[in-house]
Structures are given as structure tokens and as C-alpha cells.
Amino acid sequence: MNAFTIKDKDLAGRIAVLRTRNGDLTTPAFFPVIDLRKQDLPLNEIKDLGFDNIITNAYFLWRHFREEVLRLGIHKFLNFDGIIMTDSGAYQILRYGNIDVTNREIVEFQCNMGSDIGVILDIPTSYDATREEALRSVRETLQRAQEVADLVSRCSSTLWVLPIQGGVYTDLIKTSAAEACKIAGYTIYGIGSPVTVMENYMFDKLVEMIVAAKSILPPDKPVHLFGAGHPMIIPFAAALGVDTFDSASYVLYARDERYMTEGGTYRVNELDEFPCECPVCSKYSPKDLMELERSKRVKLIALHNLHVLIREIKRTRIAIREGRLWEYLELKSRMHPTLKRAFDTMRRYYKYIERFDVSSKGIVRALFIYGIESVQRPRVIRRRIRLEQAMLRRLRGQKLVLVPGVPFDKPYSKSRLVKALLGSIPRGSEVICIVPPLGYVPLQLSETYPWSQYESKFVVRRDEIEDVVNLLMEMLYGVIKDVAEITLVNLKNCGWCEYLVKRLSTEIKVMCRYVDKDIQIKILEIECCSLYGSSACDSLRLE
């Protein structure tokens, strides 16, 4: 039976079901780290929040509770009937150096105590490692994965994780991923050692690390991101194809009296009130929390932090289901400069994301457009490319009429502007609607997605005009020698429409000189205010 079934997709992200011997897990999912040495938050309260899955450290269990865990099994020992993932102790290697357990010992221990998901004892790569150190961690982790392949195959009731190493050296990550795929028996791949990268808010570098691994790994295999514990980065990693996350951040932050939000972290004593409605924040003010004894305060902050984490996971899954993950990331990217850098880095990997992004969802939802970034999503770019190819085939010898697409006057084929033009459009013309920043579309296709199924602001920036003008000119260059006449429709007293016509007129004349083609260019003017009213006309401003 397949342990991983993908149910829905958006961008490179997916909603899937991971089947373990102790139950099914819907992904994306977050695994709270349980530290048995000092558990500030009882497991039953973590489960009550909606976490049916946790992760704990197999190395500490091996050192301190070995006999009891083997006798009872991990689920009875923890008194937790959900899914339990165990890490091997690699984080301790990263922090403190070598530990006193071998790879085979810790893998066999995880198998015998009944871990639902287990991890081999890999060698992590710190973000400041030299290339030689990173290469050593790649080679030794792969050697260790091969070393216990027989145990992994025998203990098939546990899902085994093979960590991918390489740190910030993306070529080494790709090498690690390629070699890992050759080793049989592993169900899940893990992207190792991102903790120090995230601690330094190097989210753009994290994007590069994830893409490097995911571009090589099989697309039907689940991927875990170790140590990813802040809600800021979860939707970005999920959009790139990460399925599960883990971290102790919720309680580590709480011990330091740090309060998570979806856009950053605050110290409780710096807040006058909480920007949250969870049970903790609804009952206590920051002042109330600071007056409690420390253990109580830590517990309540940890509870809040887990609320924020599971809320982010749910919002990410909803965005995937609705096909709005790109829009969600665009909004999230405005919350912190490091997230904007991460989003800009993601945009560079269009070809990677486009490989996985679905062409359409079952329910067509309006596209939300906030600016140029909104139309750089794969689904829109794919339609732009197909439309350009179609236009190049059909515009030979045509008369063109270029009409501004007013966002509140849709569909364009039935708009007031087109109706007002009916008696003025030359017979046999091809009418093309120009819709900044979305692009251009022939009038006959203007009711297809997304040309009438979008919502956008009415004010248009100059760079958005330039983007759509460049897009149109790239297409026209292929047919300009066969175009007989071009009519530009100008909405007088509409700021961005007038600027659009000016730029189109200039660029078309330059192109005609370049290809030595004399084309008659006409300007057809319609008063904007008489068509839409003064208030609507005023809203169509140019920034």
C-alpha cells in the first residue's frame, strides 16, 4: 500500500495523506518536539489543540529510559495514541559533537520501541560549514543510510527518513538527493540542518536549499523539513513541496518569554495587548502573564505559540485547496523584509514551480491582483504563453483595435466601453483588451479564465503599464509586418489609460521604423467620465 497519497495541489505544494501504522496524517503537518527532560506542556494539552502527531528524541530515550521504553513501547511509555516520530540525535551532534550511540544501535532502538516514523543517525551540516565539511556530512550521511539499509527494510512497519545534507551548498544538496534516491527502503526524505539558517532569518537561502533538494527527489515522496518552527516560513516551504515540519520553537520561545505571531516574534513584556484571540490571549493580558509564576507563564506562552503554528498549517492547507497559495504568499511577504526576500527568490524558480502547479482547480475562484507579483504565478504565465502563441497564428493581415480593459467593467465583450465602440471599430478588426498588469486578451476570449474572473485595484502603477506594454510588443513583433492598421482606444481623463495609449503609440512607431513597416496608427477617444461617471473615472488613476 502506498504510504503517501496526494489529494490536492497548488504551486509545488500539496495536501496529502501519510499513512503510518498508527494512523493517517494529513499534510502539510507540524510535529511539536517533545523533550522528556523538561516537558513544560502536558502531552494531553498538545493533543487537545489538534496535534495527533509529535516528535521526540530517540537518543535521550536510549540514554535515560531505554529498558522501560523497550518494555512498554513508545506509545504506552508516552501515553500518547497518536503518530510518534523519533529523531536520532543528529541535532545533538550539530550542537555538541559526537554522541555515545552508533547509527545501527539507534535505528534498531527506534524499530524495537515501535516508532511510527524513524530517522537514521545522520551527520548534519551547519550553515557556516566549509565546503569540505559539508561534503563530508553528505558522504557520511549517505554511507550511514546504506549501512542500515538492511534494518530499514526489515523494519518496514516504521516509515524511515533519509536526511539530505549539504547545508547552503546547493550543488552538494543536489548530489546528496541524487545519491539518496538510489538507496532502497526509505519512505520519507528530510532536508537537514536548516535550523541555523532559520535562526538567522536566512529564508531566501532556505528557499534555495529546498528547491535544490526537491528538484532532484521523486515528486511522489514526502519531504520533511527538520527544525522549521516559525509560522512565518511554513507556507513558503509548503509551497515548494515540503510536507512535514518539526520544531521545539513553541516552548523554547516560551522559556525566553517570546510570543509568536504570523509575521514575527515579540517579547511579552514589550506588548500592551495580544494581537490574538486564542484561549490564552482571550483570558490574559501581557501584564497578567508577566505577573504569573514562571512555570505557568511558560506553559501559557507555549500554548499560544502552538495555536499560531497549527493555525498557520490550517491556513496553508486552505490556500492550497482554494488555489490561492500564491496570493497567500504575496500577502505574507509584506509582513517582514526577510519574507519578501524569500518570495522574490521563489519567483526566480518559476520553472521548478511550474512543473508541479496544476492548470486549473475544480472550483474556479477569482484571481486577486495586487500588482506585478500577482501575475507572475505559473498559472497566469502559462496562459500568457499559450495566448501569445495563439495570437501569432491568427493576427496575420489584421486590423487591430487595442482597448483598455477597465477592471470594474467586465466581461469586456459586454462592457460599456466595447458597446460604445461598436459603431467606430473598422470592419474585420481584431479587438484586443489590454489589462494591466494581467496582460492582454482578444475580445472573443475575454470571458475565459482569468480575464473576467479577477479582482484588482483600480489605480495602476507605471511599472505595471510598462510590463504589459512590453508583453504586447513581444507578441506584435512577430506579426507587425502583416498588420494593416492599428487603432488605439483612449479613455480621456483616465490617468492610466492615457499613459497606456501614449506608451503603446511610442513603442509601435519605434517598432515600425525598426522593421521598415509603415502602419497607419489611429487614436479613437472616448470621454471616461461620460461613460462611467466622474467618481469611477477618478479611481482609474496612474501612480
Using CA atoms, how far apart are residues 376 and 307, in angstroms rounded to an integer?
A: 32
| pLDDT given for residue 90 in this prediction | 66
| pLDDT given for residue 393 in this prediction | 76
Q: Helices in 256-377 by DSSP H: which ranges?
A: 279-283, 286-291, 294-322, 325-332, 337-348, 350-356
With a cut of 50, list the residues of the chain below it in pLDDT: none
Within a domain: 494: yes
Within a domain: 467: yes
Within a domain: 73: no
| pLDDT given for residue 518 in this prediction | 86
pTM as predicted: 0.90
Within a domain: 181: no
| pLDDT given for residue 362 in this prediction | 65
Contact in structure between 15 and 3 (CB atoms under 8 Å): no
Q: Residue 484 sits in which domain range? A: 367-539
Per-residue CA distances from 340 to 202, 204, 246 (Å)? 11, 9, 23
Q: State yes or no: is 87 an active-site residue.
A: yes
Within a domain: 193: no
| pLDDT given for residue 95 in this prediction | 56
Domain containing residue 408: CATH number: 3.40.50.10630
Q: Helices in 148-233 by DSSP H: which ranges?
A: 149-154, 170-180, 195-199, 203-214
Other Cβ atoms less than 10 A from the Cβ of 100: the count is 9
The H helix count followed by the E strand count for the chain is 25, 20
C-alpha cell at 49: 489543540
Within a domain: 462: yes
Using CA atoms, how far apart are residues 317 and 297, in angstroms rounded to an integer?
A: 31
| pLDDT given for residue 343 in this prediction | 96
Cis peptide before 286 (omega within 30 of 0): no
Within a domain: 198: no
Q: Which residue among 10, 87, 122, 246 is the active-site one?
A: 87
For every residue of 94-133, DSSP letters joined together read HHHS--SS-HHHHHHHHHHHT-SEEE-------TT--HHH
Within a domain: 173: no
Q: What is the pLDDT of residues 340-361, one digit of tens each?
A: 999 999 999 999 999 998 876 6
The count of domains in the chain is: 1
| pLDDT given for residue 106 in this prediction | 94
